Amino acid sequence: MAESVLKPPLPRPEVSDQIAPIAPFDAKGQELFRPPRDERLRRRRLVAWASIVGAVILLVPGAILAFGIPIGPIPTSAWIHFVCIGVLAGLGPYGFYMSREARRIRGLEERFADFLRDVASGHQGGLTLPAAVVVASRGEYGPLTPEVKKMADQLSWNLPFTEAIERFAERVDTPLIRRAVNLILQANRSGGSTIEVLMAASRDAREIKSLENERRLTMSLYTVVIYITFFVFLGVAAVLYASFVPKLVAASQAASDAALSAGGQVGGIGGPSLNLRDFQVFYFMAAIMQGLGDGIVAGLMGNGRAVLGLKHSFAMVLVAYLTFTFFL
DSSP per-residue letters across 201-217: HHHHHHHHHHHHHHHHH
Instruction: Specify the pLDDT at position 185.
Output: 83
List the single range of 32-46, 111-125, 180-194 with lowest mean pLDDT. 32-46
More confident residue, 86 or 7: 86
**pLDDT tops 60 at residue 40:** yes
More confident residue, 22 or 234: 234
Instruction: Specify the pLDDT at position 93.
Output: 93
**Residue 13 — pLDDT band, cuts 50, 70, 90?**
very low
Amino acid at 103: R
| Percentage, residues of the chain above pLDDT 70 | 83
Residue 113's alpha-carbon distances to 146, 178, 180, 260, in angstroms, are 16, 13, 10, 79
Query: Residue 167 — φ and ψ, nearest 5°?
Result: -65, -35
146-173 per-position pLDDT tens digit: 999 999 998 888 888 888 888 898 888 8
**pLDDT tops 50 at residue 294:** yes
Amino acid at 326: F
Contact indicator for 171, 150 with CB cutoff of 8 Å: yes
Instruction: Specify the pLDDT at position 22.
Output: 42
What integer best gives the mean pLDDT of the chain?
81
- pTM for the full predicted model: 0.76
Average pLDDT estimate for 283-310? 89
State how far the Cα of 3 lies from the Cα of 150, in Å rounded to an integer.
42
| Percentage, residues of the chain above pLDDT 90 | 23
169-214 per-position pLDDT tens digit: 888 888 888 888 888 888 777 776 778 888 888 888 888 888 888 8
Nearest to 182, CA basis, from 166, 205, 167, 200: 166
More confident residue, 225 or 13: 225
Instruction: Specify the pLDDT at position 279.
Output: 84
Domain edges within the chain = 39-109, 112-192, 211-326
232-260 per-position pLDDT tens digit: 999 898 888 888 888 888 887 777 777 67
311-324 per-position pLDDT tens digit: 999 999 999 999 88
Instruction: Specify the pLDDT at position 129.
Output: 83
Contacts of 313 (CB under 8 A, 6+ apart): 91, 95, 291, 292, 294, 295, 296
Cα 322 to its chain centre, rounded Å, is 24
More confident residue, 187 or 6: 187
State how far the Cα of 168 lies from the Cα of 183, in Å rounded to an integer.
14
**pLDDT tops 60 at residue 226:** yes
Average pLDDT estimate for 48-61? 93
Contact indicator for 35, 172 with CB cutoff of 8 Å: no
